Structure 1
Amino acid sequence: MQAHQNTVDPEEVAKFEAMAAEWWDTEGKFKPLHMLNPCRLDYITSQIAGEFDRDLSAPEPFKGLRILDIGCGGGLLSEPMARLGATVVGADAAAGNIPVAKIHAEQSDLNIDYRHTTAEALAEAGEQFDVVMNMEVVEHVASPISYLTACRQLLKPGGLHICSTINRNPKSYFVAIIGAEHVMRWLPKGTHEWSKFITPDELYKLLEDAGLEPVDRKGFVFNPILWSWSLSAKDLSVNYVTASLKPKT
């Protein structure tokens, strides 16, 4: 069996482990994710429904699909997927996130398989999924190409990979670091490293090099007047998301 490089960055894991207990505090350190979550879910659910021919108005439209939420944190995306009927595995390299996620799922009467593990370890174990959700993780790993290769190996042929991250340009430095960490203080200083941000073209190339076929990308755009997020086909200047497929053969 092929051995995988461990792409976990211990310093990055420690940052999020220190914030673990605050995952479900909508006014705490993860306020930006709670605000972004409805927009993220709109994109994720529409991509899954389109790829697997599911009717989102039906009860449990994702029943029969096995979904991996890699870098699941406290379960902000795992729980909605479980409510839609999917069999969900939530994985995180930060051990402190898992008990938080498990407790909240139990309180919500949801059956989610949360594990303290990595994409590489799951791939080595031969795990297979219809969908891999890889949201706001790739900018925190030591080797994006090794990490994305493991994500591709975790997909069944024809499987869907959804990956979001932050663009690298002067605007993203101002918005994601100066704005979010220093001005709004939504996140602790040092949460993000601008040098690790990835442009959309760079991510497309990484996905292709990892053996995936990119099929879509959209921007997540924050409106400070309406205080809300929306999807944009043109503005990928800060936060953005991609969809890609594992070839069927």
Structure 2
Amino acid sequence: MTATAAPDEIAKFDALAARWWDPKGPMAPLHAMNPLRCGWIANHLAHAHGRDAAALGGLTVLDVGCGAGLASEGLARLGARVTGLDAAPAALEAARIHAAEGGLEIDYRQGMPEDLAAEGARFDAVVALEVIEHVTDRRAFLAALAGLVQPGGMVFLSTLNRTARSFLFAKLGAEYLLRLLPRGTHDWKLFVTPAELGAEARAAGLRVSAISGMTPGLPGQAWRATQDVAVNYIVAMRRD
């Protein structure tokens, strides 16, 4: 049960469950970037299935490390049949309550991706957003994600690059200066460069098909996809 998730990381995010859906709370950065993440995923997934942009009706999507369901709800509202997976029980309870209040049918499950893969579960797409920088074994994690997607299916990851700029903005700035995130949310040494992610993905049988930077706009403006991957970035990968 602990092959890819550390108990202290689970406890850290479980403790934030009650404030997960507060757009001005500790998850404010995720609220701000969520429309971009979900829209980017939906467009690439729909294109892979020969559909119009963001037409996800009937497609099965697994949201690994779903927390209280920000991305799960965003993708469900775009028509996907979503399963949310997380190891944090309090966060999952917050997810179930919020989905019920919004009239959304999302299958939330407690566990690890390797457990679900061992059951033989398969999905059209697997997403893991702002998760891989918190896992204990990236190679095992990517192998589990690859095992959960149908052959030819898509895996989507978003994470933080390990650069001087990410240390300045995502670690020092966000956690200590602006206090957008609780201190200790991230360990900069665990941030992942695109080259590292690409090589480890290939070892798991996944091939990167698209990558974009995610850049915050000016105050009051939405996040946008850019070519700048120095801090936040999102990746689409296809299973061989």
TM-score under structure 2 length normalisation: 0.96
After superposition, the C-alpha distances for 1:108-162 in whole angstroms (9 at most, x for unaligned) are 0111000111101100111000000111100000000000000000010110000
2:232 maps to 1:235 = no
In 2: Cα distance, 1:241 partner to 1:85 partner: 21
Q: Is the 8 A contact 1:5 1:120 kept in 2?
A: no
Tell me the secondary structure at the aligned position of residue 84 of structure 2.
strand
User: Superposition RMSD on alpha carbons, in Å?
Assistant: 1.4
Q: CA deviation at 1:225?
A: 5.5
Amino acid at match of 2:192: I
Percent of aligned pairs with the same amino acid: 43
In the alignment, what sits opposite 2:117? 123
Amino acid at match of 1:121: D
Summarize the alignment of residues 35-184 of structure 1 with structure 2, pairs less than 5 Å apart: 35-56=32-53, 61-184=55-178
After superposition, the C-alpha distances for 1:182-226 in whole angstroms (9 at most, x for unaligned) are 111111100000000010111111111111111111100123456
In 1: Cα distance, 2:122 partner to 2:88 partner: 22
Runs of 4+ off more than 3 Å: 223-228
In the alignment, what sits opposite 2:17? 20
In 1: Cα distance, 2:74 partner to 2:218 partner: 26
Amino acid at match of 2:13: F
Summarize the alignment of residues 148-227 of structure 1 with structure 2, pairs less than 5 Å apart: 148-224=142-218, 227=221
- Matched pairs, number: 240
In the alignment, what sits opposite 1:8? 5
Mean alpha-carbon deviation: is it higher for 81-90 or for 68-77?
Answer: 81-90
In 1: Cα distance, 2:3 partner to 2:78 partner: 32
- Segments of 5+ residues of structure 2 without an aligned counterpart are none
Tell me the secondary structure at the aligned position of residue 95 of structure 2.
helix
TM-score under structure 1 length normalisation: 0.93
In 1: Cα distance, 2:2 partner to 2:146 partner: 14
After superposition, the C-alpha distances for 1:34-72 in whole angstroms (9 at most, x for unaligned) are 111111122111111111122247xxx322211000011
Tell me the secondary structure at the aligned position of residue 162 of structure 2.
coil
Q: Is the 8 A contact 1:5 1:146 kept in 2?
A: no
